[in-house]
C-alpha cells in the first residue's frame, strides 16, 4: 500500500531462516509475486547449525516494507524477522574493485587514494589493481566514485549485511511488540522439525 | 514397513478417514500399501481436479482437513487449480503427490514435474521427502501447518523410491495445534471505546469467522450491530436475524453496500477486504473508523487502512468484545437500513434469478449448498438464507469454474445424513461433469445437482452486454451443450427438466424427494443479468440496483460502468 505522504526509501531487514531446500526461492518468489523491490540480498550461515541469515535492502515506503515483513513472517521457513530501522545496528558491505592502471604515476596516485579508504590490494597486475573494501554503504559508494576517475574495469559488491548493536542477540522487531529482549536460544528451539510452533505475539 | 505404509499409518493416526485421489505410476507403492490400511477410505475420482475439489468440499463442510492424492507430473499438475483455490479460501488441505525416484529427479524423467517449484506460491508450505525415515514427521508437520492459524493447503511430494524404501524410523503422534492467538486487552478496550462512540455502526463478517459463528452472533446481538456477511462469511451470522443486511460488494445487497458507505464505525472479523468486496478502495467506507480483527497480521492494512488493528483469533476477540457491550440505540440508522433492505428486489419474471430462488427456497437449515462460479453463484449468494456456518461452499477467492459439483460430492461424503445441493451453470458443470462417475461408483445418495442452463457463459455474457456493446464473443454454448439428462442417464443418474416456474416447482419436488442423487436441469432465457451490481472500479455507493431496461439507454451510471470497466475487463471477465 503506497501512501504519497511517506517517501520511498531503503530499509534494511534481516531474516533468520531454516536452512532447507528452496528457502531462497520461496523468499525471492514472494518478493517477486507481490511486487516488492529487493535492492540487495546477502545470505550466509549463522553460528547455529540449520539456521541461515539473510539481509535484504527493500525499497519502498514504510507500508510496503511492513507488508513485506509480515508476508515474509508467514513463511514456515522464516524463524525471525528483524527490522533494523527500529534498532541500532552495524552494517557492512564488501566490494571488490578492479581499477585500470595506465602508468607508474597513476599507480602511486591510486594506491594513495586506496589507503585513505583503507582499501586492501588483493591482486596486482601490470595494468590493473584489485581492491577489497569493507564498510558501510556510503564509504563503498564513495570509494567507487573516486576510482571511477581512474577507470573501473569490474566491480562486485556482496550486498549489505547487518547485526543489531549491543550485547543482545537480535531483538525481535517492534512491529510485533514482543517486548522483552530474547536471546537466540528460543529461536534455536523452534528451528528443528519437531519443535513447538513458532509464536509471534500480538501486534496490538 | 515401507515409506508408503508409514504414510498411511501416519494419516490413520491423524484420524484421516477418507482421501480423494487418482493413482498413477509414481504413486503406485502408496496405492499398494493402501490395501493394508482398511481404516482409510480412498475415493477414486475421475480427474485429479475432481479429487482435490472434493477434498476441499469435505474440508469446507466439516472444518477438518481434506486429503487428496495424485501421481507425479500430469497428476500433480492437475491439482494446481485446487491448491490455488484452497490457498485463496483458506481451506485446510493436504495434497500428497508421487514423484519419480530420487536419482531421476531433475533429469526430465517420464512424468516428472517440479511440483514443489510449481506450487510454491499457491501452498502454505510444501515438502519433498528425501529421507524415508523423515516421512511421518513431515506429514505430521504438514497437517499441523495446514490446520493451524489461517488454514491452507500443504503439499508433500514423495519420490517413488522413498515410498518403496524400508522405513526404520519412528512413527509420530499428531502434533498439537498451536494455541489460538488471543487479543491484547488494550486492543479490546480501545475497540469497545471506539464502538461506543458509533452512531452508524456496521459489523462485517468474513470467511475467517466460520468457526466463530456462535460467538460473533452473540457479539452482534449484545451490541445490536447491523451485520453484513461477505460471500465467504455467509452463514456465519443467521440470515433470519433482523440485524442481517446481506452480502457486500460487487453483487451485494443495497442495504449492505449503502450501510458500508455511510457507516461511522466498521468492525470487520476474519475478512481480507477483497476487491470484489471493497469496490473502489479509496471510497470504501469513506466515513468509517475501521476496526479489523484478523489473526493474519499481513491482512491488516493490506488493502484498506485499519484505524484499530486487533490481531486475534475471531472467536476469542468476539467473546472479549461481548463483555461490556452496550446495545446501540440508533433508531435513525436502523430506519435508514430498513428502508435500504426493502430495495433491490429481483424481478419476478421467469429467469435464472427466479429459478435459483425457487431452488434455494427449499433449503433446510442443515442442507449444504455449493455453487460453481458465475451468475448462478451470485444469485444463490444473494437469495439463499443460511442459518448456520459451513453450509455454503463456494469458490470465493479464485473463482474456480468446475468447483461446485465435486465440492458437493466431497461434502455429501463428509456428511452422509445431510443433503448436499449443487447449483451449477451449464458452462461450469461441464468442467468437472466426469465426476458423475464418482457419484455412481460410491452410490452417493445425498448429492443433488441443479444446472441452471441459459446456454451461455452467463457472467461473461453479462459483461460483454454491458461493456462490449453486446459483442458476444465465444460465450455461446447452446449449440453444443449435451443433453444433460441423457448425460446423467449415461451414468445411471436420474434427471428432471423444467423450463417454466410451475414445472420447476413440480420438478423440484420430484428431484428432492427422489431416494438417491439426481440431476435437475432448469432451462432459462439467456439475456438476464445479476443485479444489484457495482461495476468494477466503481465505489459501492455507485451500485446499480436493478437490471437496466433492455432498451439501451446508457445514462450516466452506464457510462461510469463502461469507463470503469475498460481498465479491468481483461482480468475481470471470468466472474
Question: Mind spelling out the 3-state secondary structure of A113-141?
Answer: HHHHCCCEEEEECCCEEEEEEEECHHHHH
A203 pLDDT band, cuts 50/70/90, is: very low
pLDDT of residue A65: 86
Contact indicator for B22, B69 with CB cutoff of 8 Å: yes
List, in sequence order, the alpha helices (H) in B107-196: 115-118, 135-147, 160-164, 185-196
Residue B204 a catalytic site member: no
Q: Which of B392, B394, B374, B367 is nearest to B448 (CA)?
A: B367
Q: B229: which strand partners?
A: B205
pLDDT of residue B546: 84
For the stretch A46-102, pLDDT in tens is: 888 889 999 999 998 888 888 999 999 999 999 999 888 877 889 999 999 999 999
* Beta carbons of A203 and B116 less than 8 Å apart: no
Question: Cα separation of B127 and B125, whole Å?
Answer: 7
Contacts B136 to A, Cβ<8 Å? none
B517: Cα within 13 Å, side-chain hemisphere? 30
Quick one: angle between helices B254-262 and B331-341, nearest 10? 150
List, in sequence order, the alpha helices (H) in B298-456: 314-322, 331-341, 352-360, 375-383, 404-414, 426-429, 436-441
The interface predicted TM-score (ipTM) is 0.86
Cα-based distances in Å from B503 to B181, B346, B355, B383, B525: 52, 20, 11, 20, 15
Contact indicator for B178, B148 with CB cutoff of 8 Å: yes
pLDDT of residue B298: 93
Which residue from B minimizes the CA distance to A68? B298
Number of neighbouring beta carbons within 10 Å of residue B340: 20
Contact indicator for A101, A151 with CB cutoff of 8 Å: no
Mean pLDDT along residues A2-8: 53
Q: Which DSSP string corresponds to A16-54?
A: EEE--TTHHHHHHHHHHHHTPEEEEEEEEE-SSTTEEEE
Name the grid cell of B461.
Answer: 455474457
Question: Cα separation of A138 and B443, whole Å?
Answer: 73
pLDDT of residue A186: 39
Q: Which DSSP string corresponds to B165-181?
A: SBP-S---PPPPPPPPP
Nearest to A202 among B138, B296, B311 (CB): B311
Quick one: angle between helices B48-62 and B80-89, nearest 10? 20
Q: Is the pLDDT reported for residue A21 higher than 90?
A: no
Number of neighbouring beta carbons within 10 Å of residue B118: 17
C-alpha B281: how far from chain center: 23
Enumerate residues 6+ apart whose C-beta is below 8 A from B316: B180, B181, B182, B183
How many residues can be counted in chain A?
A: 204
Q: Is the pLDDT reported for residue A142 higher than 70?
A: yes
Question: Cα separation of B367 and B383, whole Å?
Answer: 15
Residue B39 a catalytic site member: no
* Beta carbons of A193 and B310 less than 8 Å apart: no
pLDDT of residue B222: 98
Nearest to A33 among B121, B137, B186 (CB): B121
Residue B354 a catalytic site member: no
C-alpha B153: how far from chain center: 14
Contacts A74 to B, Cβ<8 Å? 296, 298
Q: Which of A49, A48, A50, A44 is nearest to A14 (CA)?
A: A44
Please give chain B's pLDDT, 575 residues, in tens: 999 999 999 999 999 999 999 999 999 999 999 999 999 999 999 999 999 999 999 999 999 999 999 999 999 999 999 999 999 999 999 999 999 999 999 999 999 999 999 999 999 999 999 999 999 999 999 999 999 999 999 999 999 999 999 999 999 989 888 888 999 999 999 999 999 999 999 999 999 999 999 999 999 999 999 999 999 999 999 999 999 999 999 999 999 999 999 999 999 999 999 999 999 999 999 999 999 999 999 999 999 999 999 999 999 999 999 998 999 999 999 999 999 998 866 677 899 999 999 999 999 999 999 999 999 999 999 999 999 999 999 999 999 999 999 999 999 999 999 999 999 999 999 999 999 999 999 999 999 999 999 999 999 999 999 899 999 999 999 999 999 999 999 999 999 999 999 999 999 999 999 999 999 999 999 888 899 999 989 999 999 988 876 644 444 444 445 444 444 444 444 44
By DSSP bridging, strand B244-246 and strand B18-21 are: unpaired
pLDDT of residue A187: 39
pLDDT of residue B565: 47
Name the grid cell of A155.
Answer: 566491480
C-alpha B318: how far from chain center: 23
Interface contact B307, partner A, CB < 8 A = no
CA distance B8 to chain A (A): 20
| Helix-, strand-, coil-residue percentages of chain A, each rounded to 5 | 30, 35, 35
pLDDT of residue B344: 66
B116-155 residues touching A, CB cutoff 8 A? 116-117, 120-121, 124-125, 128, 134, 137-138, 141, 144-145, 148
φ/ψ region of B169 (left if φ > 0, alpha if ψ in -120 to 50, else beta) reads: beta
Name the grid cell of B442.
Answer: 460410491
The catalytically annotated residue of B1, B28, B64, B111 is: B111
H or E stretch at B124: none
Contact indicator for B438, B54 with CB cutoff of 8 Å: yes
Q: Is the pLDDT reported for residue A190 higher than 50?
A: no
Residue B48 a catalytic site member: yes
Q: For residue B208, give the DSSP letter.
A: G
The catalytically annotated residue of B5, B60, B160, B448 is: B160
Q: For residue B515, give the DSSP letter.
A: S
What chain B holds in terms of domains, given with CATH numbers, is: 3-164 (3.40.50.970), 185-342 (3.40.50.1220), 352-523 (3.40.50.970)
Report the SS3 class of residue B279: strand
Measure the CA dihedral B560/B562/B565/B567, to 10°. -100
Which residue from A minimizes the CA distance to B291? A204
Nearest to B137 among A1, A76, A193 (CB): A193
Look over chain A and give the mean of its residue pLDDT values, rounded to a whole number: 80
H or E stretch at B344: none
Residue B160 a catalytic site member: yes
Report the SS3 class of residue A73: helix
pLDDT of residue B43: 98
Number of neighbouring beta carbons within 10 Å of residue B564: 20
A7 pLDDT band, cuts 50/70/90, is: low
Report the SS3 class of residue B68: strand
Question: Cα separation of B547 and B345, whole Å?
Answer: 10
pLDDT of residue A169: 61
Exposed e or buried b per residue across B483-503, where buried means at least 16 C-beta atoms within 10 angstroms of its C-beta: ebbebbeebebbbbbbeeeee
Enumerate residues 6+ apart whose C-beta is below 8 A from B176: none
Contact indicator for B227, B203 with CB cutoff of 8 Å: yes
pLDDT of residue B459: 95
* Beta carbons of B120 and A71 less than 8 Å apart: no
Question: Cα separation of B213 and B315, whole Å?
Answer: 8
Report the SS3 class of residue B5: helix
Measured at the CA of B162, the angle between CA B156 and CA B167, to 5 degrees, comes to: 105
Nearest to B183 among A75, A77, A202 (CB): A202
Nearest to A204 among B125, B137, B187 (CB): B187
Measured at the CA of B227, the angle between CA B222 and CA B233, to 5 degrees, comes to: 115
Question: Cα separation of B461 and B475, whole Å?
Answer: 6
Cα-based distances in Å from B56 to A197, B190, B397: 25, 37, 13
* Beta carbons of A193 and B134 less than 8 Å apart: yes
Enumerate residues 6+ apart whose C-beta is below 8 A from B505: B358
List, in sequence order, the alpha helices (H) in B514-572: 556-572
The catalytically annotated residue of B88, B250, B378, B459 is: B459
H or E stretch at A98: strand A89-100
Enumerate residues 6+ apart whose C-beta is below 8 A from A115: none
Sign of CA dihedral B150, B53, B217, B337: positive
Question: Cα separation of B312 and B208, whole Å?
Answer: 11
Number of neighbouring beta carbons within 10 Å of residue A49: 10
pLDDT of residue A20: 86
Contacts B184 to A, Cβ<8 Å? 202, 204
* Beta carbons of B120 and A21 less than 8 Å apart: no
Question: Cα separation of B355 and B524, whole Å?
Answer: 8
Name the grid cell of A187.
Answer: 529461536
Amino acid at each position: 500500500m503506497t501512501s504519497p505522504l511517506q517517501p520511498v526509501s531503503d530499509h534494511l531487514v534481516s531474516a533468520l531462516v531454516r536452512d532447507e531446500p528452496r528457502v531462497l526461492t520461496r523468499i525471492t518468489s514472494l518478493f517477486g509475486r507481490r511486487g516488492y523491490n529487493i535492492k540487495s540480498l546477502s545470505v550466509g550461515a549463522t553460528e547455529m547449525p540449520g539456521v541461515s541469515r539473510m539481509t535484504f535492502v527493500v525499497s519502498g515506503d514504510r507500508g510496503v516494507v511492513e507488508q513485506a515483513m509480515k508476508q515474509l513472517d508467514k513463511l514456515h521457513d522464516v524463524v525471525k524477522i528483524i527490522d533494523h530501522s527500529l534498532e541500532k545496528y552495524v552494517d557492512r558491505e564488501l566490494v571488490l574493485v578492479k581499477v585500470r592502471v595506465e602508468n607508474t604515476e597513476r599507480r602511486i596516485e591510486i594506491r594513495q587514494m586506496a589507503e585513505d579508504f583503507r582499501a586492501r590490494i588483493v591482486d596486482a597486475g601490470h595494468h590493473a589493481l584489485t581492491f577489497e573494501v569493507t564498510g558501510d554503504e556510503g564509504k563503498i559508494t564513495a570509494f567507487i566514485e573516486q576510482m571511477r576517475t581512474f577507470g573501473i574495469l569490474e566491480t562486485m559488491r556482496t550486498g549489505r549485511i547487518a547485526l543489531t548493536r549491543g550485547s543482545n542477540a537480535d531483538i525481535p522487531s517492534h512491529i510485533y511488540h514482543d517486548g522483552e529482549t530474547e536471546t537466540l536460544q528460543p529461536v534455536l528451539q523452534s528451528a528443528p522439525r519437531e519443535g513447538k510452533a513458532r509464536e509471534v505475539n500480538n501486534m496490538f | 514397513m515401507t515409506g508408503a505404509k508409514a504414510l498411511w499409518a501416519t494419516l490413520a493416526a491423524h484420524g484421516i478417514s477418507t482421501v480423494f485421489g487418482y493413482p498413477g505410476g509414481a504413486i503406485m507403492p502408496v496405492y499398494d500399501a493402501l490395501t493394508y490400511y482398511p481404516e482409510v477410505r480412498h475415493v477414486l475420482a475421475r480427474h485429479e481436479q475432481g479429487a482435490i475439489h472434493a477434498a476441499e468440499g469435505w474440508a469446507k463442510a466439516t472444518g477438518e482437513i481434506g486429503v487428496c492424492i495424485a501421481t507425479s507430473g500430469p497428476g500433480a499438475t492437475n491439482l494446481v487449480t485446487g491448491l490455488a483455490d484452497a490457498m485463496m479460501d483458506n481451506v485446510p488441505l493436504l495434497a500428497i503427490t508421487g514423484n519419480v525416484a530420487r536419482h531421476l529427479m531433475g533429469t526430465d524423467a517420464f512424468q516428472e514435474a517440479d511440483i514443489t517449484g510449481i506450487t510454491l506460491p499457491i501452498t502454505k508450505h510444501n515438502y519433498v521427502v528425501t529421507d524415508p525415515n523423515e516421512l511421518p514427521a513431515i506429514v505430521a508437520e504438514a497437517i499441523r501447518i495446514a490446520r493451524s492459524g489461517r488454514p491452507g493447503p500443504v503439499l508433500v511430494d514423495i519420490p517413488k523410491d522413498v515410498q518403496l524404501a524400508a522405513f526404520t524410523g519412528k512413527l509420530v503422534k499428531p502434533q498439537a495445534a498451536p494455541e489460538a492467538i488471543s487479543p491484547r486487552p488494550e486492543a479490546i478496550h480501545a475497540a469497545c471505546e471506539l464502538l461506543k462512540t458509533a452512531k452508524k455502526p456496521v459489523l462485517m463478517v468474513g470467511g475467517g469467522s466460520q468457526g466463530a459463528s456462535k460467538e460473533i452472533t452473540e457479539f452482534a446481538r449484545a451490541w445490536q450491530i447491523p451485520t453484513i456477511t461477505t460471500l465467504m462469511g455467509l452463514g456465519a451470522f443467521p440470515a433470519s436475524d433482523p440485524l442481517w443486511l446481506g452480502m457486500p460488494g460487487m453483487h451485494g445487497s443495497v442495504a449492505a453496500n449503502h450501510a458500508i458507505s455511510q457507516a461511522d464505525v466498521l468492525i470487520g472479523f476474519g475478512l481480507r477486504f477483497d476487491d470484489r468486496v471493497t469496490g473502489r478502495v479509496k471510497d470504501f467506507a469513506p466515513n468509517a473508523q475501521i476496526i479489523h480483527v484478523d489473526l493474519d497480521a499481513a491482512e491488516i492494512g493490506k488493502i484498506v487502512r485499519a484505524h484499530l488493528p486487533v490481531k486475534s483469533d475471531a472467536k476469542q476477540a468476539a467473546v472479549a468484545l461481548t463483555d461490556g457491550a452496550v446495545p446501540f440505540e440508533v433508531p435513525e440508522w436502523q430506519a435508514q437500513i430498513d428502508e435500504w433492505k426493502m430495495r433491490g428486489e429481483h424481478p419476478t419474471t421467469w429467469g435464472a434469478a427466479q429459478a435459483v430462488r425457487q431452488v434455494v427456497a427449499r433449503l433446510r437449515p442443515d442442507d449444504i449448498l455449493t455453487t460453481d462460479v458465475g451468475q448462478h453463484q451470485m444469485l444463490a449468494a444473494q437469495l439463499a438464507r443460511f442459518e448456520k456456518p459451513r453450509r455454503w461452499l463456494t469458490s470465493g477467492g479464485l473463482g474456480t469454474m468446475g468447483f461446485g459439483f465435486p465440492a458437493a460430492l466431497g461434502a455429501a461424503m463428509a456428511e452422509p445424513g445431510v443433503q448436499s445441493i449443487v447449483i451449477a451453470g451449464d458452462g461450469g458443470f461441464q468442467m468437472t461433469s466426469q465426476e458423475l462417475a464418482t457419484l455412481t461408483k460410491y452410490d452417493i445418495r445425498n448429492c443433488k445437482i441443479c444446472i441452471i442452463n441459459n446456454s451461455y457463459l452467463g457472467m461473461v455474457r453479462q459483461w460483454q452486454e454491458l461493456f462490449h456493446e453486446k459483442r458476444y464473443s465465444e460465450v455461446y454454448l447452446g449449440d453444443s451443450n449435451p443433453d444433460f439428462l441423457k448425460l446423467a442417464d449415461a451414468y445411471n443418474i436420474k434427471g428432471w427438466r423444467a423450463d417454466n416456474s410451475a414445472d420447476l416447482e413440480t420438478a423440484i419436488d420430484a428431484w428432492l424427494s427422489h431416494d438417491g442423487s439426481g440431476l435437475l436441469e432448469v432451462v432459462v432465457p439467456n439475456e438476464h443479468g445479476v443485479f444489484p451490481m457495482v461495476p468494477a472500479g466503481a465505489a459501492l455507493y455507485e451500485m446499480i440496483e436493478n437490471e437496466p431496461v433492455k432498451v439501451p439507454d446508457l445514462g450516466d451510471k452506464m457510462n461510469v460502468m463502461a469507463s470503469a470497466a475498460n481498465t479491468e475487463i481483461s482480468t475481470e471477465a471470468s466472474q
